Amino acid sequence: MNKKIISAVVAMTFVLTANFTSVKADLASDKAKLQEIQAQRSELETRITKMDNQIETLMSQISSNKESIAAKETEIDLAQADIIKAEEDIKAEQLLYQDRLRAMYISGTSSSTIEILLDSKSFDDLMSRAENIKRVMEYNISVINDYKVKKDVLDSKKAALEVEKNGLVTLKQENEQKLTELNAQKTDQAVLISQLKAQESQYGAQIAAAEAAALAAAKAEIEKAKAEAAALLASANESRGTSSSNGTSSSSSSSSATSPSSPTGSTGSSTYSADAVIAYASNFLGVPYVWGGTTPAGFDCSGFVKYVFAHFSITLPRVAADQQKVGTYVSREDLQPGDLVFFGEPAHHVGIYVGNGYMIHAPHTGDVVKIAPLNSDFSYGRRIK
């Protein structure tokens, strides 16, 4: 009868093992698909982060273009006003010429050169008037020529300003077109990310359900095997007529589930205390990502880092690529909490390292300040002292 008990337990163990092997194979397949989806999503999110960086750069350039265009328009308006003033001065000088001719002879009413000459009383008077007219005319011509030169200079300046303005307008239009295209690409990428997240949730749920079902099935099979083994043992003992005191004891196995411990960040040290930096940065978890954002109303990646460190009287450059030049180089292996972590070179993204491969950062549009693992696009860190 002992052989029957052993055979029954072995048979049930074989069935149980076969079931586990099948479930394990299904889980492995689902997990492989999940990892593939997560890798695709991570790659798309990195692309969106890069696009956000490009969008911020373009928005800054467009804003600068607008300011330059406005400045050129102001210069053009001033040049145009000066041109009008020069034209008015030329007209005024021509009127002054007539007044000067009249003023040569207080009692005269003539306003033209010919009339003044014809009014001469004698030959000497004629020569005198001709000489005076010549001087006034030469002076008038000199003044008018000066005004004309000034007007010509102003006309050239205005034309050059118009060319510069048109160039800035063209550049602004090109940047706006690039911005439109980037936003369209980003929208497409965001749709793909949404789809991948849905698939990720689906496979995650399937894996969780499969693991739960496998655990329940395993427990049921174990209990069933134990019950049948106990029944066979009782039958064997009864047929032998032995007492329960001489019965064999069955051993049962118990399983204990263990959960991975939470990451414990190492403590870095600096003049401003890494713990204090991370603690302060964590106050902004959940703040939405905003292009160009530099306040708790909304942050972009570099704006968030700059704001946090400013709290500790540390002034950092505005954009990630410039922040990447501050402090000392730190490899991935030597990262400590409080270090800045950069992605790409020149950097298109930045965060603050919190330990154990995690950072706190403002990811991209549609997301919020959060703690996340460093992704494969990580370049290196910088330690601020």
In a domain, 343, yes or no: yes
- pLDDT by residue (tens digit) across 243-272? 444 444 443 333 333 232 333 333 333 457
Give the rounded distance of the alpha carbon of 236 from its chain centre: 75
Same domain, 34 and 148: yes
CA-CA distance, 10 to 228, in Å (whole number)?
12
Same domain, 303 and 214: no
In a domain, 238, yes or no: no
Question: How buried is 78 (Cβ within 10 angstroms: 0-12 exposed, 13-18 middle, 19+ buried)?
Answer: middle
Same domain, 119 and 54: yes
Same domain, 329 and 203: no
Rounded to the nearest integer, the mean pLDDT of the chain is 75
Write the DSSP string, 144-191. HHHHHHHHHHHHHHHHHHHHHHHHHHHHHHHHHHHHHHHHHHHHHHHH
Strands (E), the chain: 294-295, 298-299, 328-330, 340-343, 349-355, 358-361, 370-373, 378-383
Between 16 and 326, the more confident residue is 326
**Given this model, what pLDDT does residue 133 score?**
74
**Given this model, what pLDDT does residue 233 score?**
64
Same domain, 209 and 115: yes
Structural domain count of the chain: 2
Domain of residue 362: give its range. 274-383
**Given this model, what pLDDT does residue 55 score?**
79
Between 175 and 235, the more confident residue is 175
In a domain, 244, yes or no: no
**Given this model, what pLDDT does residue 51 score?**
78
**Given this model, what pLDDT does residue 223 score?**
63
Token code pair at residue 161: 């300003």
CA-CA distance, 49 to 66, in Å (whole number)?
26
Assess contact for 343 and 378: CB atoms under 8 A.
yes
Whether residue 7 is predicted with pLDDT greater than 60 in this model: the reply is: no
**Given this model, what pLDDT does residue 288 score?**
94
Same domain, 14 and 92: yes
CA-CA distance, 327 to 316, in Å (whole number)?
10
> Cα angle vertex 323, ends 277, 49, to 5°?
90
Q: Which helix (H) or strand (E) holds 30?
A: helix 2-103
Same domain, 198 and 289: no
Token code pair at residue 41: 């999503």
Between 201 and 15, the more confident residue is 201
In a domain, 33, yes or no: yes
Same domain, 206 and 351: no
CATH number where 161 lies: 1.10.287
Going by pLDDT thresholds of 50, 70 and 90, the confidence category of residue 11 is low
In a domain, 77, yes or no: yes
Active site residues: 301, 349, 361
In a domain, 256, yes or no: no
Count other C-beta atoms under 10 Å from residue 226's C-beta: 16
**Given this model, what pLDDT does residue 187 score?**
76
In a domain, 253, yes or no: no
**Given this model, what pLDDT does residue 101 score?**
62
Kindly state the average pLDDT of the residues 329-340. 94
Same domain, 358 and 300: yes
Kindly state the average pLDDT of the residues 365-381. 88
Residue 37: partners with Cβ closer than 8 Å, 6 or more residues away = 196, 199, 200, 203
In a domain, 51, yes or no: yes
Percentage of the chain beyond pLDDT 70 is 68
Given 169, 193, 227, the domain boundary residue is 227
Same domain, 59 and 179: yes
Same domain, 282 and 378: yes
